[in-house]
Amino acid sequence: MARINLRDYYPEYTLNCFIEVTDGDEEAVVAALTKEVADVYVKFQRKENAYMRRKYYNKAHYSLNRGDGIENDAVDHAPSAEDVFFDNLAWDELKAAIASLSKPQRRRVNAYVIHGMRVTDIALAEGAAKSSVSESVSLGLQNIKNNLKNYF
Domain ranges of the chain: 2-57, 81-151
Output the CA torsion 122→123→124→126 (10° steps): 80
Of residues 94 and 22, which shows the higher confidence score? 94
Give this prediction's pTM. Answer: 0.47
Average pLDDT over residues 105-134: 91
Is the pLDDT assigned to residue 64 strictly greater than 60? no
Tell me if 102 sits within 8 A of 143, measured CB to CB: no
Residues belonging to the chain: 152
Give the angle 31-33-39 at the CA atoms, nearest 5°.
105
- Using left for φ > 0, alpha for ψ between -120 and 50, and beta otherwise, residue 29 falls in alpha
67-115 pLDDT per residue, tens:
666 655 555 566 778 888 888 888 888 888 888 899 999 999 989 988 8
CA–CA distances in Å: residue 95 to residues 62, 69, 79, 92, 144? 37, 32, 22, 5, 10
The third-level CATH classification (topology) of the domain covering 81-151 is: Arc Repressor Mutant, subunit A (1.10.10)
Q: Which residues on adjacent β-strands are paired with residue 18?
A: 5
